[in-house]
């Protein structure tokens, strides 16, 4: 009985420990890992994810400062919307007003693996993305 209770407690702690805080469905630790502050980076309070706008290109009609670069791991997401939401989430932790994609490349390659139970493979897709987190000049 004590052994079963101990195992159950360890499993619960492992699950809770792995969960950690998340923003936009991504662990905060990963979001911070992908964020690179710039020289002009300002210390700003975090904002809700919903307040960070996604822009389809660099704004031309409004002055801004780049406060950071965001480079998610290329294999972390399978679709463009997932990448964009993760970028917005990372920017929200650092108080950005908006983000835009600076560069993006999608690589597709074949991947095969074999083990004692057989083999398999398929197309492996990687999305290399670099985005800029910005704040509007006042």
For 61-114, what is each residue's pLDDT tens digit?
Answer: 999 999 999 999 888 888 889 999 999 999 999 999 999 999 988 887 776 677
CATH number of the domain residue 95 falls in: 3.30.110.70
Q: Does residue 12 sit within a domain? A: no
Domain that holds residue 36: 21-109+123-136
19 pLDDT more than 80? no
pLDDT tens-digit map of 32-72: 999 999 986 667 899 999 999 999 999 999 999 999 999 99
Statement: the pTM of the whole predicted model exceeds 0.85: no
CA dist list (Å): 70 to 39, 44, 56, 91 = 14, 16, 15, 8
Task: Tell me which residue of 11, 65, 59 sits closest to 37, measured CA to CA.
Answer: 65
């Amino acid at each position: 009985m004590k052994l079963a209770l101990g195992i159950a407690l360890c499993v619960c702690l492992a699950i809770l420990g792995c969960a950690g805080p998340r923003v936009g469905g991504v662990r905060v630790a990963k979001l911070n890992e992908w964020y690179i502050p710039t020289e002009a980076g300002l210390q700003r309070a975090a904002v809700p994810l919903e307040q960070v706008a996604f822009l389809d290109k660099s704004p031309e009609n409004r002055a801004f400062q780049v406060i950071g670069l965001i480079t998610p791991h290329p294999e972390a997401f399978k679709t463009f919307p997932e990448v964009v939401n993760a970028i917005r989430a990372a920017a929200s932790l650092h108080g950005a007003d908006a983000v835009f994609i600076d560069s993006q490349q999608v690589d597709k390659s074949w991947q095969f693996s074999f083990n004692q139970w057989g083999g398999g493979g398929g197309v492996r897709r990687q999305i290399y993305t670099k985005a800029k987190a910005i704040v509007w000049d006042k």
